[in-house]
Structure 1
Amino acid sequence: MAPEGGGEVRFKCPVRRTLKPVHLIDNGKINRVRGTVYAVRVSPAIANRVVDSAKGILLQFLPDIYIYTDHNKGAKSGKSPGFGVCLVAQTTNGVYYTAEAVSNPSGSTEAPSVPEEIGKLAAFRLLEEIYRGGCVDSTYQSLATVLMALAPKDVSKYLMGPLSPYTIQCLRHIKDFFGLTFKLETHKKTEDEEELNFGGPKVLTSCIGVGYINYSKKTI
């Protein structure tokens, strides 16, 4: 945890020669929520308080909710105390929405975080991502557009919620680097969304990839 850290991140990624065009235009309906509350160098009871707070909000909308707790102490917990929660909502079509909330760092000028507030904040952030809709949450919109740009010279389509400022700037960078312009269309709400007056405006993004190939990856 911040500010002194002391942890380690291990990242693994398969090596691909080419990507595949993607067509994701139906996000489906939310059927379950999973999450993890992590706490280091603090009382184990804090993690349980975060879980109860987050579930208290989410259980009003969905029964299938399970949030794990991960508590560490001693040398395995790093150098600074803190806690946080990561929530993931999954739809019937395999789309994921994520949200996270973390306590204020030790020694910061802000007041110490209350576990109940962190749990509620994460739950409300997840509900906001669900409301925004689309087939990807706002955090990973830019990654989706980059992968679409690097795909083969075929049409890729991706339904997204309202584009974040970071994604808008990423589209400008893609145009500068690859000379590729995305087609952005306003997507109409489904009948269920119109009836419930639910969900923000969605954007159907489409492009023809540049056909990027990783020549260092040998084919067999």
Structure 2
Amino acid sequence: MAYGGNGRMFLIAVLYMSLPFVKIGVNIPGTILNAPFISLTDFEANFIRLIDKITNGSRIEINQTGTTLYYQPGLLCGGSLEHDCSPSRSIGYYLESLLCLAPFMKHSLRIVLRGITNDQVDPSVDVLKATAIPLLKRFGIDGEALELKITRRGMPPKGGGEVIFSCPVKRALKPIQYIDPGKIKRIRGVAYSVRVSPQIANRLVDSARSILNKFLPDIYIYTDHMKGSSSGKSPGFGLALVAETTNGTFLSAELSSSPQGQGTPVLPEDLGTNCAKLLLEEIHRGGCVDSTNQTLLLLLMTLGQQDVSKVLLGPLSPYTIEFLRHLRDYFQVMFKIETKLFEEERKGGDKVLMTCVGIGFSNVSKTVR
């Protein structure tokens, strides 16, 4: 199958082809980044090596110039693995794909990822832990084996962080009816700092609370200042905030400092204030998941049992819209999209009701005990 996507969709195509029920190869030409003769970047090649580690029998061919990739999917095996991520992207870039694939492997996955834990580009490990893990539990993927743990933090450009992700396998996903996000009841967060003054984390907390305290009292932001080998190789700081609703919906926002020697330096007070405003904007957008996890939710709905699943989302991001096209191309699944308008200002922005019937995927690779 020939593939011609754009930008980041390249890795989504590889992700789909690695799923065990897609048994055809995929050709990805060099025009993927909308420019001819651009070869694979270091983080894309690193991601392909990760896919090769978690599968058995995959066939990967890259031409001499690195502008064309042929990928024949193998069986998702899982097991206990380790992987050193590229310093060009954070660990969250790799975790986004592992969260989709881990439940469908032959053996439970336990993988140690090393690299950058927080940056300005990809979702941080803190946000994925607070939002994506509860989302997996809604589809019946739970138990003590489902865990995302930060053992060392690493900031760009040198990284040095370490994360342990473990996930049990699941035979089938249950359909969901998730149309009432509920009302915000509390806000939690983490202000982290590495290889800088511990007082910076406190300044982040104070500036964020100066905005959020005007809306609700139940706010707790804890500080995380790692030292020594746990602090990675580069200095930096940042803030991750998560709002939880009465129905178990999690909406997130995050910001981090510029990499050492790059970009414009930012004051902790400005970063904390801006992050709080981003969280308020995400709450206004609303929906049952935040914009970071829209694609994960839609993919799990697609792979669910042959029953109707419904979810209420905020405005769809451009990435999500392109993702829906891939779901149509590879799984022949189309979503019914209905716009929900709210007259009350307290309901936030306009919402989108997404409805689909799952393909009824069953994980035949799961070991029978």
2: CA distance, partners of 1:74 / 1:118: 25
- Corresponding letter in the other structure for 2:227: K
Counterpart of 2:208 (choices 54, 58, 63) is 54
Q: Which moved more, 1:195-204 or 1:99-108?
A: 195-204
1:130 and 2:279 equivalent?
no
Q: CA deviation at 1:111?
A: 1.8
Counterpart of 2:182 (choices 24, 28, 33) is 28
1:200 and 2:345 equivalent?
no
1:146 and 2:299 equivalent?
yes
1:216 and 2:352 equivalent?
no
Matches within 5 A, 1:75-86: 75-86=229-240
- Corresponding letter in the other structure for 1:71: H
Relative to structure 1, the CA distance from residue 113 to residue 33 in structure 2 (aligned partners, 3 Å threshold; closer, same or farther) is same
Q: CA deviation at 1:120?
A: 1.1
1:118 and 2:118 equivalent?
no
1:169 and 2:322 equivalent?
yes
**Which runs of no fewer than 5 residues in structure 2 stay unpaired?**
1-154
In angstroms, what is the RMSD of aligned CA positions?
1.1
Runs of 4+ in 1 over 2 A off after TM superposition: 194-198
Work out the number of aligned pairs and report it. 215
2: CA distance, partners of 1:196 / 1:213: 43
Q: Which moved more, 1:150-159 or 1:195-204?
A: 195-204
Q: CA deviation at 1:198?
A: 4.5
Greater relative contact order (Cα < 8 A, sep 6+): 1
Q: Secondary structure at the match of 2:207?
A: helix
- In the other structure, the counterpart of 1:45 is 199
- In the other structure, the counterpart of 1:5 is 159
- Corresponding letter in the other structure for 1:59: N
Q: CA deviation at 1:75?
A: 1.9
Q: CA deviation at 1:137?
A: 0.5
- In the other structure, the counterpart of 2:35 is none
Q: CA deviation at 1:118?
A: 1.1
2: CA distance, partners of 1:62 / 1:14: 37
TM-score (norm 1): 0.95
2: CA distance, partners of 1:170 / 1:155: 20
Q: Secondary structure at the match of 1:8?
A: strand
Relative to structure 1, the CA distance from residue 124 to residue 207 in structure 2 (aligned partners, 3 Å threshold; closer, same or farther) is same
Counterpart of 1:186 (choices 331, 339, 354) is 339
Q: CA deviation at 1:13?
A: 1.3
1: CA distance, partners of 2:317 / 2:293: 10
Relative to structure 1, the CA distance from residue 71 to residue 87 in structure 2 (aligned partners, 3 Å threshold; closer, same or farther) is same
- In the other structure, the counterpart of 2:33 is none
2: CA distance, partners of 1:76 / 1:31: 33
Alpha-carbon displacement from aligned partner over 1:21-75 (angstroms, at most 9, x marks no partner): 0110001100000000110000000000000000111001111000000001222
Overall identity of the aligned pairs, in %? 60
- Corresponding letter in the other structure for 1:200: G
1: CA distance, partners of 2:337 / 2:367: 36
TM-score (norm 2): 0.57
1: CA distance, partners of 2:215 / 2:340: 25
- Corresponding letter in the other structure for 2:159: G
